[in-house]
Amino acid sequence: MPALDPTLATSVAGIPLAAPVILAAGTCGVLDEMADVIDLSRVGALVTKSITPESREGNATWRVIPAGSAGMLNAIGLANPGLDAFLEHHAPRAKAMPCKVFVSVAGFSVEDYVKVAANIEAFSLDNAACFPAVELNISCPNVKTGTEFGHTPALCREVVSAVRTVLKSTRLFVKLGPMTPDFTTVAHAALAAGADGLTICNTIPAMAIDVESRRPILANTTGGLSGPGLHPVALKLVHDVYQKVARERGATILGLGGVLTWEHAAEFILAGAQAVQLGTGLFVNPRLPYAISKGLAKWVRRQGSGSIAELVGAMRPAEPVAAE
Ligand SMILES: Cc1cc2nc3c(=O)[nH]c(=O)nc-3n(C[C@H](O)[C@H](O)[C@H](O)COP(=O)(O)O)c2cc1C
């Protein structure tokens, strides 16, 4: 397997990555399960399953179903081992992992987020900074109140500043959902409260109905749409946040939503993302990160650039096609 192309080396919020390709929260196991199928030294980073203070079984099945060409619906409901079991049984392996590991943190109160984040930082400091970043999931559509902190600037500011206080050396990303009202205002609130970057975006609330039984197919009735149908929506949000908020502050954006080809990843980079995350694409092909890195490296060279970082936010203005 050839080494990663050096043009792909980049950094997110000051964290160096070998490639701008990151495995998204909840789509690559709790921590290192993807190592069974791919060489993790060939991705920039992965994000753990969202960790809550207590363990959670999640919602009843069905909780992952196909959604035709739009992608898939999930209503997992934040199933995870809980903070203590994560630290005891999973986290000790992070030190030896060949990619950066960011820990996704979820909760139902400010105290929940602070507790998990503080314990992650304490573990990381004792273990060779094995978790350089935390990603706050304040945008889960599949649990009650899962999107509350991500939907109003005041609540977003409250949770982000509380977590920032306990993270002395760990970088902080905040993950927002696409249905956030006044998205750029909430994005601004997160950065003003101390976030180093934003992950844009989580799934779109969605559902499917079995017309014969006349019942919703997901046991939770509703879930979140991920995959191709989400991509153009996420791309526009990245564009808006980069133009209106992130560029002037020098804040990092991680573009996420429906990346199935290197072109989707390149679109996110041009719109202003430093790196992209992949979720649904891993279910289609776990080796997709290799293909995306390969396509991006060739594209960087074709664009005459020495580094992918030069292409961040490098979209040109629209050029109307002349009428015949
Ligand atoms: C099965 C599944 C589980 C997920 N679990 C989480 C999670 O625990 N935490 C989180 O922040 N996002 C979670 N997500 C959302 C993804 O990280 C990502 O935001 C979403 O799938 C959109 O990206 P994609 O179109 O590339 O899949 C999950 C998505 C799927 C499909």
CATH architecture of 6-58+79-204+227-311: Alpha-Beta Barrel (3.20)
Mean pLDDT, all residues of the chain: 97
**Catalytic annotation, pick one of 28, 99, 140, 156:** 140
pLDDT tens digits for range 123-162: 999 999 999 999 999 998 877 788 889 999 999 999 999 9
pLDDT tens digits for range 227-258: 999 999 999 999 999 999 999 999 999 999 99
* Atom of ligand 1 lying closest to residue 202 CA: 19
Contact by Cβ (8 Å): 39, 48? no
In percent, the amount of the chain with pLDDT more than 70 equals 99
pLDDT tens digits for range 187-214: 999 999 999 999 999 999 999 999 999 9
d(CA 313, CA 235): 12
Kindly list the protein residues whose Cβ atom lies closer than 6 A to any atom of ligand 1: 24-27, 49-50, 64, 74, 76, 78, 104, 137, 175, 202-203, 226-227, 230, 256-259, 278-281
Cross-strand bridge partners of residue 171: 133
302 pLDDT above the threshold of 70: yes
What tokens were used for 161? 């500043």
Nearest CA to ligand 1 atom 3: 26
- The domain locations on the chain are 6-58+79-204+227-311
pLDDT at residue 147 in the model: 85
> In Å, how far from its chain's centre is CA 235?
13
* Atom of ligand 1 lying closest to residue 80 CA: 8
Nearest to 91 by CA among 111, 119, 112: 119
pLDDT tens digits for range 72-92: 999 999 999 999 999 999 999
pTM for the full predicted model: 0.98
Contact by Cβ (8 Å): 44, 15? no
pLDDT tens digits for range 31-55: 999 999 999 999 999 999 999 999 9
Pocket residue to mutate for ligand 1, from 203, 233, 260, 268, most atoms within 8 A of Cβ:
203
pLDDT tens digits for range 8-30: 999 999 999 999 999 999 999 99
100 Cα: distance to centroid of ligand 1 (angstroms): 18
303 pLDDT above the threshold of 70: yes
pLDDT tens digits for range 90-107: 999 999 999 999 999 999
298 Cα: distance to centroid of ligand 1 (angstroms): 28
- Indicate the pLDDT class of residue 299, thresholds 50, 70 and 90: very high
Nearest CA to ligand 1 atom 5: 26
285 Cα: distance to centroid of ligand 1 (angstroms): 16
1 pLDDT above the threshold of 80: no
74 Cα: distance to centroid of ligand 1 (angstroms): 8
Q: Is 140 a residue of the active site?
A: yes
d(CA 98, CA 189): 34
